[in-house]
């Protein structure tokens, strides 16, 4: 009896707490057609405000439709240069990601020279440099110290606009790379990749806010969707981060067949860049061909803003 009484008391108290919370956080509008509105959502002064648009080479990240980016997957310096030339000639691509982890045992200094060469080729497209470790879906596994030194070599001797930093490297090393990038005027994309699963909505938000705290200019997370529900969790976390927590541009995606829609709905949820496939070679599962992606993204933008924005 005592246990039953305690359970009933607990349930009653919990219900009262939720009831009080609801009454405290909402108010009725004068228009009878309106539902009670959460003050953190719609009342003036509670919104985070407009996105901090990042403009690089005339490309405004955080404004309009999501910008389309493609990764290099070449395995030799010669093929790498040829691929950048091809990407530069594709009007649907807004940005290019350079991936040294695919090019054998190339050193930071060697890759820095390559970045200077391809930067001249792709003068009008923002260049993002990413060394993706094998543990996060990349082509090569390296130590945290090698990773830092490689990035320092590129920042000191190469030419790039943005740099991707894996957030779960050693924290001090991450901070060192962020500081060096800021010193060189290079924008930071802090990133996290989960190829096995999808974290909870709250955990996705927590990780992106940690990226912002560490100095990231663009917040990035990629998760593996095993159901359409996983993709919806990622999309909802993106929307909440945009509307409640951060003004930073974002790059979020759910990978795999169940996550395809997340790559195309960024203007709706708050993801400002989307990775696409060129030449039938995806750099991650679930990517859409770049030409088709542009048509889809443009159609969504026109439907959302028929009078222009």
Task: Say if CB 59 and CB 67 are below 8 A apart.
Answer: yes
d(CA 268, CA 254): 15
Q: Which of the residues are catalytic?
A: 193, 220
- Three-state secondary structure call for residue 260: helix
Partners of 128 in the beta sheet?
97, 162
Burial of 93-108, coded b for 16+ CB within 10 Å and e otherwise, reads: bbbbbbbbbbbeebeb
């Amino acid at each position: 009896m005592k246990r039953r009484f305690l359970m009933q008391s607990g349930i009653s108290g919990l219900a009262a707490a939720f009831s009080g919370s609801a009454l405290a956080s909402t108010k009725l509008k004068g228009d009878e057609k309106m539902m009670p509105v959460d003050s953190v959502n719609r009342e003036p002064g509670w919104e985070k405000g407009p996105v901090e648009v990042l403009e690089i080479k005339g490309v405004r990240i955080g404004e309009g439709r999501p910008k389309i980016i493609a990764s290099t997957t070449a395995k030799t310096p010669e093929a790498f240069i040829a691929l950048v030339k091809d990407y530069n000639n594709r009007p649907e691509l807004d940005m290019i990601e350079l991936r040294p982890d695919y090019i054998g045992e190339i050193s930071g200094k060697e890759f820095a020279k390559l970045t200077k060469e391809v930067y001249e080729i792709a003068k009008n497209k923002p260049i993002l440099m990413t060394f993706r470790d094998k543990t996060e879906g990349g082509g090569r596994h390296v130590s945290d110290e090698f990773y830092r030194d490689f990035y320092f070599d590129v920042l000191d001797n190469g030419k790039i606009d943005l740099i991707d930093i894996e957030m779960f490297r050693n924290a001090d090393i991450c901070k060192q790379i962020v500081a060096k990038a800021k010193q060189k005027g290079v924008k930071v994309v802090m990133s996290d990749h989960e190829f096995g699963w999808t974290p909870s909505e709250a955990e996705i938000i927590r990780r992106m806010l940690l990226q912002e705290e560490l100095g990231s200019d663009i917040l990035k997370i990629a998760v593996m969707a095993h159901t359409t529900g996983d993709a919806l969790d990622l999309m909802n976390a993106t929307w909440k981060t945009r509307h409640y927590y951060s003004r930073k541009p974002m790059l979020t995606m759910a990978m795999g067949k169940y996550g395809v829609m997340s790559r195309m709905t960024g203007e709706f949820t708050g993801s400002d860049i989307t990775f696409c496939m060129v030449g039938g070679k995806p750099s991650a599962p679930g990517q859409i061909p770049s030409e088709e992606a542009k048509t889809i993204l443009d159609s969504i933008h026109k439907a959302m803003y028929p009078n222009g924005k």
